[in-house]
Structure 1
Amino acid sequence: MKPAAHSSLDLSLRQMPQRQLLRAPEDDWTGVIDQQKRRRLQNRLNQRKYRLNRKANVGRSSSLDASETSTQPSVLEVNTANNTGVVTTFSLSSAAEHEEDDLTCTLAPPGALRFRRDFEAVAYESFLRGSPRIEHLISLRRLNVHRAINENIRAIGMTPDWLRPDEAISIFNVSSTEHNIDQIPSSLRPTAIQRRVPHHPWLDFFPFPRMRDLIIIAGDSLDEDDLCHDLMAFWDTHNTGASLVVWGHPWDPKNWEATEEFVRKWHWLLAGSPELLASTNLWRARRGDRALKWRSLITSS
């Protein structure tokens, strides 16, 4: 998938039945975790929608509503450009259709999953209005990683259910489990350390063997909550820019990119993962961005 000068920003989001109407930034509940405040904003928009529908005398039957919902596009095409004016393609991997995808970090706020559904509704509505908001990209990027985790976990042979308990153990550490390693993408096949050292299965999703080993070896010295927050905190719109970006199939290392902030903060995880370093600069070059100088970033961190 190569970004071109006139390519579009493809965001694969779940179909949302809600059709929220935003007129001003203060109507947007993106980033609002407080349930009462968010509910107040939703009620305001729902009342606005009711008045508009009544004024337009739109009388749709329930069957017609269902028909309209079923025809909503599942792929959103939104144009965006970086500071060089080069338009790029952003691919948001789809979650499984028939399984609830509710994996979150340990320190996620109680309303995180509801916020995700509300945020997707807002992002979908901004697409329908033809006015996508650039600030949505921060959360979309982390939702992308969120879904990449689930897709790679499924490719390994587990499900999101396997990841939810804090005491969960990787399938590679369960001796009673018959597992055909040959069916797993090569980038996700377990290393000797993954087989030998018991660990939580969410660490198995990185398509970079050396990175997985370093995380497992780090043990309690690694703040997994902090790493999870950087990768998946779609609810935190003011979060640090330290994150990973997925541009295609998540099991392919060539589709991953590390932000400059991620390199600075987690540089020790990148040691021995030249494929991530190479793919990062490849994607940056396609956008017209300068290449990252890994050695200088790491030594200055």
Structure 2
Amino acid sequence: MDRDDWSGVTDPAERRKRQNRQRQRLAPPGERKRTAAFAKLTSSPTLPLMFPLSPDHCLLTMVQYNVQRASLFNMAVLSLLEHLPLECGGTLNLPSLNIDPPSCVPPELLPTALQMATPHDYWIDIFPCPAMRDNLIRLYKQFDAHDLQRDLAKSLYEGFVDGEQRGCMVWGEPWTVNGWEVSRGFVRKWGFLLKGCSDLVASTNRWRESRGEHPLVIEV
């Protein structure tokens, strides 16, 4: 009797087992290898996910989503969403973000004298730290703006990379500097943009302290 003959077998589990064996035997060699590899992968023991997660855990999607949502929120407050390329609006699914900006521009997003006097890229305006906005404008030709943007948002588009390690995090209201935090990697790479940003440094260290982490020493 064919051990894979499932006719007359009433037990559902045994029928599926015999049907699978028969399909594997009749499948092309390449397909059999892929099936075996998948079976080995799915039968491997799953490691338990332990909580609380360590601070450097790859929760990059959520962290970077928060940064993106905060940026879009501030763009909405400043009426800058029209500057977004059409493909970005589709990728980020803007209608699902439920952005309902306040009726007036919050004080920390009001333009500085330098902003009003100097032509600059629109994305600079979204940071709720006036001193940092001025630094970005003043030092614009001394750094790679695309590199900075990649560090701030790369993991949302490129998978679990190390964008969070050189970017920002947003834990509170996006229009106030007290909701923002810069990472240690951001300080190492982009620390020159933090000159005069004592409020952003103070906010960063408050969030770090809330997680039991040591404060960052940043010369401002």
TM-score by structure 1 length? Answer: 0.47
Which whole-Å CA distance do the structure 1 matches of 2:194 and 2:141 have between them?
A: 18
Q: Is the contact between residue 257 and residue 276 of structure 1 (CA under 8 Å) also seen in structure 2?
A: yes
Which whole-Å CA distance do the structure 2 matches of 1:206 and 1:197 have between them?
A: 16
Write the deviation string for residues 52-94 of structure 1: whole angstroms up to 9, x where unpaired.
Answer: xxxxxxxxxxxxxxxxxxxxxxxxxxx64336xxxxxxxxxxx
Output aligned runs, 1:1-301, within 5 Å. 80-82=52-54, 134-135=57-58, 137-159=59-81, 161-164=82-85, 183-233=104-154, 234-236=156-158, 237-240=160-163, 241-295=165-219
> Larger relative contact order (C-alpha < 8 A, sep ≥ 6)?
1
CA distance change for structure 1 residues 162 and 222 in 2, over 3 Å: closer, same or farther? Answer: same
- Corresponding residue for residue 37 of structure 2: none
Which whole-Å CA distance do the structure 2 matches of 1:219 and 1:285 have between them?
A: 32
Which whole-Å CA distance do the structure 2 matches of 1:82 and 1:283 have between them?
A: 15
Q: Is the contact between residue 152 and residue 250 of structure 1 (CA under 8 Å) also seen in structure 2?
A: yes
Q: Match of 1:222, as an amino acid?
A: F
Which whole-Å CA distance do the structure 2 matches of 1:247 and 1:256 have between them?
A: 6
Q: Match of 2:166, as an amino acid?
A: A
Which whole-Å CA distance do the structure 1 matches of 2:107 and 2:153 have between them?
A: 24
Q: Match of 2:139, as an amino acid?
A: A
Pairwise CA distance, 1:144: 1.5
Which whole-Å CA distance do the structure 2 matches of 1:195 and 1:293 have between them?
A: 32
Pairwise CA distance, 1:199: 1.2
Pairwise CA distance, 1:141: 1.4
What SS does the corresponding residue of 1:183 show, helix, strand or coil?
coil
Q: Is the contact between residue 139 and residue 235 of structure 1 (CA under 8 Å) also seen in structure 2?
A: no
CA distance change for structure 1 residues 147 and 239 in 2, over 3 Å: closer, same or farther? Answer: same
Moved over 2 A (4+): 79-83, 219-222
- CA RMSD of superposed structures (Å): 2.2
Which whole-Å CA distance do the structure 2 matches of 1:226 and 1:142 have between them?
A: 16
What SS does the corresponding residue of 1:257 show, helix, strand or coil?
strand
Q: Is the contact between residue 187 and residue 209 of structure 1 (CA under 8 Å) also seen in structure 2?
A: yes
Runs of 5+ consecutive residues of structure 1 not aligned to the other structure: 1-78, 84-133, 166-181
Q: Match of 2:67, as an amino acid?
A: V
Q: Is the contact between residue 242 and residue 259 of structure 1 (CA under 8 Å) also seen in structure 2?
A: yes
Which whole-Å CA distance do the structure 1 matches of 2:118 and 2:84 have between them?
A: 17
Decide which structure has greater helix share: 2
Pairwise CA distance, 1:156: 1.5
Which whole-Å CA distance do the structure 1 matches of 2:140 and 2:190 have between them?
A: 15
Pairwise CA distance, 1:267: 0.6
- Corresponding residue for residue 110 of structure 1: none
Pairwise CA distance, 1:230: 0.6
Pairwise CA distance, 1:163: 3.5
Q: Match of 2:161, as an amino acid?
A: H
Pairwise CA distance, 1:228: 0.3
Write the deviation string for residues 151-188 of structure 1: whole angstroms up to 9, x where unpaired.
Answer: 001111232x32339xxxxxxxxxxxxxxxx9210000
Aligned residues: 151
